[in-house]
Amino acid sequence: MEGKQCIGILTSGGDAPGMNAAIRAVTRTAIYNGFEVRGIMRGYKGLITDEIIPFQTENVSNIIQQGGTILKTARSEEFRTAEGRKTAYENILKHGITALVVIGGDGSLTGARIFATEYNFPIVGLPGTIDNDLFGTDTTIGYDTALNTIVQSVDKIRDTATSHERIFFIEVMGREAGFLALNGAIASGAEAAIIPEIATEVDQLGEFIQHGFRKSKNSSIVLVAESELTGGAMGLAERVKNEFPQYDVRVTILGHIQRGGSPTATDRILASRMGEAAIYALLEDQRNVMIGIQNDELVYIPFSKAIKNQKPIKHELLNTLKTLSI
Ligand code: ATP
């Protein structure tokens, strides 16, 4: 990149803890390198409605520990249309923005890819999603915090499950991916995880209940990834209630508490490293890439790869869960 640069930052899609740490890192690294910064409110929506404000280092003071995103986030149907993106581009020109850093999940990076290609505009993406479902990165900003929230919640539910000798189906987020459910199950000592990647697991549920449950335990916790493929916690609980009326079955849907809260140290460090890397990627004339992390090394993943490929779940983790829950 040559000449005076002005970096626009936005957060888009579902919020994730650590997004603020990423905004701070992008802003400060840009300013450190002599660039100007503009904060774009409400994701692509604000780019279209022209909610764009100058950012100084003070704008990102005291936010590293805050969940959510100070830039707010929104979903924008207009940005899916060529006309909406044209207005967005006009606003970018109006504010003298020379490159964008987009922090968000799969959908946000899809939008970034389309826009970057359409206007030949430099964009670097950061994987900001609790779902951990982006290909090419071992983990995403917000995932570790959400996982820890799930584990804390399941620990509490375990107390009541044990006291009442109940089976609990606990539904966690994941948007068609089982990372939160599977790793949450291992970390909380749950008896099973029902995840969309292994559709047959759903059929194994009956067997698990019949042979596994109550052999040596007086309660069971099953983590269920929200997905049409798993049927969700409600669907599974109904099935078990019908087939095994002798069991006391309960459902908890953890819902939005999984998104909130102060980011863990792991997420803050990840967001800080990735935010810094986004600016250095632009300095190296990288564009249309997402910053990923693989074996603790930061890498550039083309948008096309990050969003098109499905990130595989580690199948051996299912065995770990099975072995440890006997
Ligand atoms: P999460 O993983 O938390 O759901 P996300 O980034 O995947 O986050 P989406 O709602 O899928 O969230 O996408 C966010 C926004 O990205 C959309 O509201 C839309 O503005 C933009 N977007 C998504 N897909 C496209 C597309 N095909 N073309 C243009 N813009 C898109």
Name the CATH topology of 146-259: Rossmann fold (3.40.50)
Catalytic residue among 15, 50, 106, 131: 131
Find residue 273's DSSP bridge partners: none
**Residue 1 or residue 298, greater confidence:** 298
Tell me, using a 6 A CB cutoff, whether residue 213 lines ligand 1: no
Parse the chain into domains and list their residue ranges: 6-142+263-308, 146-259
Query: Does residue 187 surpass a pLDDT of 80?
Result: yes
pTM for this prediction: 0.96
Task: Kindly state the tokens that stand for 91.
Answer: 């606003």
Taking residues 38-58, report their average pLDDT: 98
Q: Does 289 score more than 70 pLDDT?
A: yes
Q: In CATH terms, are 6-142+263-308 and 146-259 the same topology?
A: yes
Interval 241-248 mean pLDDT: 87
pLDDT at 71: 98
Residue 198 has pLDDT above 90, yes or no: no
**Is 131 marked active-site?**
yes
- Residue 85 Cα to ligand 1 midpoint, Å, equals 13
pLDDT of residue 140: 98
Q: Structure tokens of 318?
A: 């299912």
CA of 10 to the centre of ligand 1 (A): 13
Q: Is 174 in the pocket of ligand 1 (CB under 6 A)?
A: no
Note the CATH number of domain 6-142+263-308: 3.40.50.450
pLDDT band at 84 (very low <50, low <70, confident <90, very high): very high
pLDDT given for residue 128 in this prediction: 98
For residue 22, pLDDT beyond 70:
yes
Predicted confidence (pLDDT) at residue 216 exceeds the cutoff of 60: no
CB 110 near ligand 1, within 6 Å: yes
Work out the percent of the chain whose per-residue pLDDT is above 70: 94
Distance from C-alpha of 258 to C-alpha of 145, rounded to nearest angstrom? 8
Helices (H), 2-53: 19-32, 43-49
- Note the pLDDT of residue 147: 98
Residue 3 pLDDT > 80, yes or no? no
Q: Which residues of 102-113 are buried (b: 16+ CB within 10 A; e: fewer)?
A: bbbbbbbbbbbb
For residue 259, pLDDT beyond 90: yes
Q: Do the Cβ atoms of 134 and 270 come closer than 8 Å?
A: no
Residue 104: CB within 6 Å of ligand 1?
yes
Confidence of residue 207 (pLDDT cuts 50, 70, 90): low
- 214: CA distance to ligand 1 center in Å? 44
The two three-digit tokens of residue 1, written as one number: 């990149």
